[in-house]
Amino acid sequence: MLRTALWMMLPHKLAPTRFPGFAHTRPRGTLTPSPLPPRPPLRAPRGARGCSAGAAFQYLLVQKTGAQKNVGLIQLNRPQALNALCEGLMAELGRALKTMESDPEVGAIVLTGSQKAFAAGADIKEMQNKTFQECYSGGFLAGWDKVSIVRKPIIAAVNGFALGGGCELAMMCDIIYAGEKAQFGQPEILLGTIPGAGGTQRLTRAVGKSLAMEMVLTGDRISAQEAKEAGLVSKVYPVEKLLDAAIACAEKIASNSKLVTAMAKESVNAAFETTLTEGNRTEKRLFYATFATNDRKEGMKAFVEKRKANFTDS
């Protein structure tokens, strides 16, 4: 059984958990969940259907959910290793996100794990024997950036551990909702290395230099409530209500114009990647661009006529 060094640093009494409501022994390529038991802690409440990805998933469960089936739901499904982010899992995640990105029905995406762990870190067993030459010439972890460049909004629904690469993965998403028992941390320093997938950069931008420096230099974790107070997390929910809340937010986002939503996401992201002057220029350019869309015309017309807008994503 694969284990990670980050997992090994967790209390020894922690046992791998299964995600209630989903089959854990299934043929490759099965995307549809098994029959749900009564009141499972985490599931899409309004129904879900399989999302065709054209190939098998070994480490993910991929569905469409929500009342309009316009929310993509991706669950990390490597329970025996607390969803450690091995190369195979990340490759599958990139493929699943590409499928969601090209699906005209999907307006937003929810990424989640299990109640025990969103993701307890990268797979240290895979990387422990890598050399500098292999990392540098092979662009090690470069593929992880696929998550952050998806144009559709991604909501991370984090229960349990989000440590190391798991915390970095959550921060690549656009919104983070956390369960009350979630824990966030960048403990790479305890392994003799540093974060390598954006941890030092995104964490600092989210919580400020002092707290980010403390977390990175000590390896200490913060709770869900502390993460919310620091600005890393938007909202905190009871464990059993977290996924429902994330899906509800995704449905609200998906009801808007997908075209304009992508513009809004690009504009907000510019605030973290450019100067204030350049960011304002980006915002103005995208604001003007909305006036070339049918959805801007429909949105304003619907407002004047006091009715709900019927966006066509054009």
Establish if 309 belongs to a structural domain. Answer: no
144-155 burial by CB neighbour count: b if 16+ within 10 A, else e? bebbbebebbbb
End residue of a domain, out of 254, 273, 291: 254
Q: What tens digit of pLDDT does each residue of 59-69 get? A: 999 999 999 99
CATH number at residue 275: 1.10.12.10
Establish if 314 belongs to a structural domain. Answer: no
- Whole-number percent of the chain with pLDDT over 90: 73
Q: Bigger pLDDT: 137 or 261?
A: 261
CATH number at residue 80: 3.90.226.10
Same domain, 128 and 270: no
Same domain, 292 and 200: no
Mean pLDDT of 129-157: 86
Establish if 188 belongs to a structural domain. Answer: yes
Report whether 7 contacts 121 (CB < 8 A).
yes
Q: Tokens 């690009």 — which residue? A: 266
Q: Is residue 166 packed enough to be buried (19+ CB in 10 Å), middle (13-18) or exposed (0-12)?
A: buried
pLDDT exceeds 90 at position 187: yes
Res 125: pLDDT: 84
Domains in the chain: how many in total? 2
Query: Can you tell me the distance from the alpha carbon of 147 to that of 153, in angstroms, rounded to the nearest whole number?
Result: 10
What are the structure tokens assigned to 13, written together?
């009494």
Per DSSP bridges, beta strands 48-50 and 60-65 are antiparallel
Res 127: pLDDT: 82
Same domain, 37 and 141: yes
Question: The domain containing residue 265 runs over which residues?
Answer: 258-304
Residue 96 falls in the annotated catalytic set: no
Please give the model's pTM, rounded to 2 decimal places: 0.81
Res 7: pLDDT: 45
End residue of a domain, out of 216, 237, 254: 254
Strand partners, 187: none
Establish if 310 belongs to a structural domain. Answer: no
Pick the catalytic residue from 168, 197, 270, 309: 168
Query: Can you tell me the distance from the alpha carbon of 76 to that of 122, in angstroms, rounded to the nearest whole number?
Result: 13
Residue 298 falls in the annotated catalytic set: no
Q: What tens digit of pLDDT does each residue of 197-231 get? A: 999 999 999 999 999 999 999 999 999 999 999 99
Establish if 311 belongs to a structural domain. Answer: no
Left, alpha or beta for 38 (phi > 0: left; psi -120 to 50: alpha)? beta
Pick the catalytic residue from 188, 196, 212, 248: 188
Same domain, 226 and 263: no
Orientation of helix 294-304 relative to helix 258-273, angle to 10°: 110
Strand partners, 48: 65
Report whether 10 contacts 124 (CB < 8 A).
no
Establish if 74 belongs to a structural domain. Answer: yes
Residue 105 falls in the annotated catalytic set: no
Same domain, 227 and 118: yes
Same domain, 137 and 225: yes
Same domain, 52 and 100: yes
Sheet harboring 221-223: ordered strands across?
117-119, 161-163, 183-185, 221-223
End residue of a domain, out of 233, 254, 275: 254
Establish if 312 belongs to a structural domain. Answer: no
Same domain, 185 and 58: yes
Same domain, 207 and 110: yes
- Whole-number percent of the chain with pLDDT over 70: 82
Residue 214 falls in the annotated catalytic set: no
Same domain, 48 and 99: yes
Pick the catalytic residue from 81, 122, 245, 309: 122
Same domain, 71 and 176: yes
